[in-house]
Amino acid sequence: DHQGGHSSSTTSNPSLPKKTQQEEEDGAAQQTEQKPQRSEPAAASFPPTFSVSEIKNKQRRHLMFMKLKQEKRKQKMQLRKKRKKEREALGDKAPPKEVPKTIENQRVYDETTVDPDDEEVAFDEGTDEFSAYFNGLTNPKVLITTSDRPRGRTVKFCEQLATVIPNAHVYYRRGLALKRIIPQCVARDFTYLMVINEDRKVPNGLVLCHLPEGPTAHFKVSSVRLRKEMKRRGKDPTEHSPEVILNNFSTRLGHSIGRLLAALFPQNPHFVGRQVATFHNQRDFIFFRFHRYIFKNEKKVGIQELGPRFTLKLRSLQKGTFDSKFGEYEWVLKRHEMDSCRRKFQL
């Protein structure tokens, strides 16, 4: 009963809205759904076509809106069930399920994406600065330091990094200029210089400089978790060299950064130690994790996180050792150009 339905919902309201609802009934032949006025479809439990927003009482309006939402959800579920039944009924002849769109699916194609069997790239990589490592000629030796006057968190982070990276040494900065440190490092056979920049008692930047005339990469560091903050972590990492996993470095730039990061670790990992360091690139963020793994059987592996975790975002890549003023930049993050498109990534 129309009137009865209306009166039950609008008992505490003045008569004016009732009139407008009736007008709406008459007028609303179609059931268009616009944001301010939601006219309901003729469902069993509802009187047809009255707008929820017309109810003046807030509580009642809220109740009505909730009911409306439930109705819609029910209908959606019914539709889904119907579709699923149809699909099962058709069996093999059913059209294939649509793949949902993800950002990775919709990524703008980058011209510098590396083909796996590209000869030019292979040749370049065979002769660049890192080829010495990947051929096993030199071993990495890393010097970790910070910006001036590091706070406790940064110091702990440095120490933990030094346990993760084999053959790494931590030195205090004490206000020395980087340009003066670099020749000394070269003299002492260091291959990498890692400077962790600190801001407001938290590490927030990383300068990774490959020493004998190598490229310098500047990263932004975020979400640093020290070892004691990790849940369900294992014991401290041992001295064995870990394996390295590099995921999703697809473009030329990504490749060079990947090689830069991989050359931090020695080339012959100790499988006995069962430790693995992962650099996973997702949407231009490089996630670093350090795990210990164990193979339970052929198809199952268990991993347990040890060690610190952090994420890096590349800000600039410069040829030559660290020289912010006169260095030649190979790649710089330009926010207005590169961050404008949500589907375009650089690494």
What gap in Å lies between CA 48 and CA 41, rounded to an integer? Answer: 6
CB of 264 to another protein, least distance (A): 18
Q: From 44, 42, 20, select the one nearest 31 (Cα to Cα).
A: 42
Nearer to another protein, 66 or 103 (CB): 103
Report in angstroms how near the CB of residue 191 gets to another protein at its nearest: 24
Nearer Cβ to another protein (130/310) = 310
Sign of CA dihedral 222, 227, 231, 236: positive
Report residue 155 as tokens: 């110091």
Greatest alpha-carbon pair distance for the chain in Å reads 94
Quick one: 74 or 149, whose CB is closer to another protein?
Answer: 149
Residues of this chain that bind another protein (CB under 8 A):
102-104, 175, 177, 222-223, 232-235, 243, 245, 247, 271-272, 276, 278, 280, 282-285, 287, 289, 291, 293-304, 311, 313, 335
Q: How far is the CB of 294 from another protein (least distance, A)?
A: 6
Q: At its nearest, how many Å lie between another protein and the CB of residue 28?
A: 40
Between the alpha carbon of residue 327 and those of residues 145, 261, 324, the distances in Å are 21, 21, 6
Rounded least distance, CB 247 to another protein, Å: 6
Nearer to another protein, 191 or 216 (CB): 216
Closer to another protein by Cβ: residue 93 or 232? 232
CA 152 – CA 143 distance, rounded (Å): 19
- Using alpha carbons only, give the angle 264, 267, 268 rounded to the nearest 5 degrees: 135
3-state DSSP call for residue 209? strand
* Rounded distance between C-alpha atoms, residue 175 and residue 191, angstroms: 22
Q: Report in angstroms how near the CB of residue 122 gets to another protein at its nearest.
A: 19
Coil vs helix vs strand at 182: helix
Nearer to another protein, 50 or 310 (CB): 310
Return all residues near 59 (Cβ < 8 A) that are at least 6 apart: none
Which letter, b or e, does each residue of 230-257 get, where b requires 16 or more Cβ atoms within 10 Å of its Cβ?
beebeeebeeebbbbebebbbbbbbbbb
Identify which of residues 58 and 235 has a Cβ nearer to another protein in the complex: 235
Work out how close the CB of 335 gets to another protein at its nearest, in angstroms, rounded to a whole number: 7
